[in-house]
Amino acid sequence: MTNSKFKVFLLTVLIGFNTFAMAKSAKSLDHDANMAINKFIDEVKGGDPFLVKAKAFLVFPSIKEAGFFVGGKYGEGVLRVGRTTKGYYRLTAASIGMQMGMQESAMIIAFNTDKALNKFLMNDDEWETDVDGKIAVAEWNSKEELDDIDFKDDMVAFVFDSKGLMGSFTMEGTKFERIKPD
């Protein structure tokens, strides 16, 4: 594929994600975030106490990801400090490589330190994972409880409630932008 054709294709994929999932209302985002938090707490033993201990967490109730050699992902979410909404964010990413499929999942990113949260909040409009911070994607099995796992990372992402099939889930190159829903 020539460079110009590739750029047109990549632009089409990104526009498609933005058009496909236009900003929801604040009320709708808060409702969906509450439902995702409840599902996380139901599915992950120790999930509730872990969220209570976190300095803050981002909740993305629905992240849509698709790709065929060129891919992208999109989701809208809520930043919670305690159980109070402090802002709304959009997650976008584009990728190139061996990939094929479509997937939808939910994700919670827990900020475990004030340093990580402040670094995220300092960048008012946008924040990129590969430039501004690293997020560890948590792995655990159904027999473990989160209380038994020692997460030494400043930020930990929990991907859950996956539907569909996609090669892998990565946070590299993911951009987070603050949005103002209706």
- How does strand 56-81 pair with strand 84-111? antiparallel
pLDDT in tens, 30-82: 999 999 999 999 988 888 988 999 999 999 999 999 888 888 899 999 999 98
Separation CA 71–CA 9 (nearest Å):
10
Separation CA 138–CA 115 (nearest Å):
20
pTM of the model: 0.77
Token readout for 48 is 């509730």
| Range 100-139 burial, b when 16+ CB lie within 10 A, else e | eeebbbbbbbbbbeeebbebbbeeeeebebeeebebbebe
Separation CA 6–CA 70 (nearest Å):
9
Separation CA 173–CA 107 (nearest Å):
16
Separation CA 132–CA 53 (nearest Å):
23
pLDDT in tens, 79-126: 999 889 999 999 998 888 777 889 999 999 999 999 888 888 876 566
> Residue 133: which pLDDT band, with cuts at 50, 70 and 90?
very low
Please classify residue 39 by burial: count the beta carbons closer than 10 Å to its beta carbon, then call 0-12 exposed, 13-18 middle and 19+ buried.
middle
